[in-house]
Amino acid sequence: MPPMFFEGLRVDTLSLAACRARAPFLMLAQAQSKTSETLSCLDLGSCLQLDDAALAIIVDSCASSLRRLNLRDCRKLTDAAFSSLQAARVLEDIDVGGNFNMTIKGASSYVSATAKRKSTDDERCLAGIAVGGLGCDDAFLKVLEKRVPSLRVFGGSYGLFSSSGFVSACASLKNLSDVRVQWTELFDDACLDALCGVGPIRCLDCLGTAVTVDGLSRFLSLKVHDDALGPQPARLLEYVNARYTAGPRERLEKLPKVWQFAAVEVVV
């Protein structure tokens, strides 16, 4: 990628996903430092050469404008990266899933140490965090309850949290709209029932979990929009992935047909 690509670059959204070299990260940071910051959404997913030092330089160059950052599958990143992210004071959405050199303890420290994360009116309020594969546990859910009760997007695939831990979290995280808990062994019908009391859920990915058809049916009945009901703020569900769940399989396969005329996509 030629250096001139970044010269005078003024965009609000940029993807360098799967970039195989380290130099473009440094060129981006240098270019951003020479212009008034405009970059608000940056995708660095699957950049295997992105390390803690390069990320720190990038974040520093666009700290006052960066709101969404994808760092999924950036395998060189460690918990030290969370310290750099503290400089991004308006960061609203962060994905660090799949980074096996990062830990849920590091993610917890990041959320805990970040100031002013409690008000939905605060422009710096963390709205989404994905920690898939980091071993999300009950302790991390407790941190989210306390520090970011206004959280809207939660990614906790391959989670280690208990069913009761998730149920407890739902009592505080009333604004969740996007929940992704694929292959979380203890996510079950009790968790679905708890989500029924949570705000306008739009997306639920419970692939490979312990939920049953009965639990899914209750959840869909309460969350799927029906034009005959008129405006229903709590019924905005658009997508559910229930593939490889507890079933039973023959009943699970019927769910898409049951809901085929509703405004929801059910994947089994």
pLDDT tops 80 at residue 10: no
Domain 9-99: CATH superfamily, name plus number: Ribonuclease Inhibitor (3.80.10.10)
Residues 179-199 have a mean pLDDT of 96
Residues 25-50 have a mean pLDDT of 87
Helix (H, G, I), strand (E, B) or coil at 72: coil
What type of residue is 20?
Answer: R
Cβ atoms of residues 97 and 155 within 8 Å: yes
**Residue range 103-268, CATH number:** 3.80.10.10
Taking each helix axis from N to C end, the angle separating 52-61 and 23-33, rounded to the nearest 10 degrees, works out to: 20
The C-alpha atoms of residue 83 and residue 88 are separated, in whole angstroms, by 10
Q: What is the pLDDT of residue 193?
A: 97
9-99 and 103-268 in the same fold: yes
Which tokens belong to 6?
């970044």
What type of residue is 208?
Answer: G
| Cis previous bond, 248, omega within 30 | yes
Q: What is the pLDDT of residue 246?
A: 96
Mean pLDDT of the chain: 90
**Of 73-87, 103-117, 143-157, minimum mean pLDDT range:** 103-117
Please report, for the chain, the start and end positions of each structural domain, with discontinuous segments joined by +.
9-99, 103-268
pTM: 0.91
